[in-house]
Amino acid sequence: MPTIRENISTWNNPATWDSLDSGDAWSTSWGNPNNQWLRVVLPRIQRYIPAGRILEIAPGFGRWTNYLKDLCNKLIVVDLNELCIQKCKERFSTDTHIDYYVNDGKSLSMVPDGSIDFAFSFDSLVHVEADVMEAYLTQLAKKLKPDGVAWLHHSNVGSYRRLFLDRGNFHVLSYGFTKLFGFQSHFRSWSMTAEGFEAMAQKAGLITISQELINWETKPRYLIDCISVCTPKNSIWAMPNRKLQNRRFMDDANYSNGLYSLYGKPQLKYKSAKA
């Protein structure tokens, strides 16, 4: 777990999205999605965009699609859940260069081989297990152009398996982990690690060129997530993997939220008092 079935029951439910302000609530730590895009996502993808054809895996209600759509000639979005694709279609109805697909949680068969310049997924594949990630990587090796790049945010919770013995029921045990060690898995996959990603990518014919291990609202600063960038092994981007352990990922969120409080919110009270 989280299984594909759990990812359907969680994300194909309008109540889930209502309670999360259509996903914008996940950006609260940074102030809003725009701040998170500017401070978190954009600096980490800037080398690869704009790109001719972008593939976004698991867009949800389009929190990042909203920006990716303006960085390419063609955007293909693929999500496991009909509800998410439906919402994206409504939200981006005037953008005629987006193709939408509902998949089975593993397949990219709707994407032509050798067609993708940049594949992207943020804040979604952290919830998929290793078999799903392996399926996506195997197919991405075929879908990417020779110099294409995949930028994928995934779980690294598996690297804590040994620390927090993985026997029994995780839902019960994780309560103990939280109490004793402050450890929260945040519905992350326990079968994924940064090393596992690198091995799967290599098996698929891709080379991993950077991995940033990051904390995510966990105290102490467990590195529960990873952003991995991979490319075909003969691409112009190919180079030995470089790894960064970034335990300050959320510090930037607090700083960013501070800036947003200062510059982002209109001083309505003051304005109306003067008017």
Ligand X SMILES: C[S@@+](CC[C@H](N)C(=O)[O-])C[C@H]1O[C@@H](n2cnc3c(N)ncnc32)[C@H](O)[C@@H]1O
Applying CB under 6 A, the residues found at the interface with ligand X are: 4, 7, 11, 23, 57-60, 63-64, 79-81, 84, 105, 122-124, 127-128, 132
Neighbour tally for 272: CB within 10 Å? 8
Question: In this complex, which beta carbon is closest to ligand X, that of residue 20 or of residue 238?
Answer: 20
CB under 8 Å to 98, separation ≥6 — which residues?
65, 69, 74, 75, 76, 77, 88, 92
CB under 8 Å to 144, separation ≥6 — which residues?
114, 116, 117, 119, 150, 206, 231, 232
Contact yes or no for 144/150 (Cβ under 8 A): yes
Q: How far is the CB of 179 from ligand X (least distance, A)?
A: 25
Half-sphere exposure of 226 (CA within 13 A, CB side): 29
- E-state strands within 1-115: 51-57, 72-79, 98-102
Contact yes or no for 143/114 (Cβ under 8 A): yes
Question: In this complex, which beta carbon is closest to ligand X, that of residue 105 or of residue 148?
Answer: 105
Question: In this complex, which beta carbon is closest to ligand X, that of residue 57 or of residue 149?
Answer: 57
Question: Residue of minimal CB distance from ligand X?
Answer: 60
Nearest 10 degrees: CA dihedral of 70, 72, 74, 76? Answer: -80
Question: In this complex, which beta carbon is closest to ligand X, that of residue 7 or of residue 208?
Answer: 7
Q: How far is the CB of 134 from ligand X (least distance, A)?
A: 12
Q: How far is the CB of 239 from ligand X (least distance, A)?
A: 27
Q: Which residues face 149 on adjacent strands?
A: 118
Question: In this complex, which beta carbon is closest to ligand X, that of residue 59 or of residue 196?
Answer: 59
Maximum distance among all Cα pairs of the chain, rounded to whole angstroms: 65
Q: How far is the CB of 78 from ligand X (least distance, A)?
A: 6
Q: How far is the CB of 3 from ligand X (least distance, A)?
A: 9
Question: In this complex, which beta carbon is closest to ligand X, that of residue 228 or of residue 235?
Answer: 228
Q: How far is the CB of 138 from ligand X (least distance, A)?
A: 14
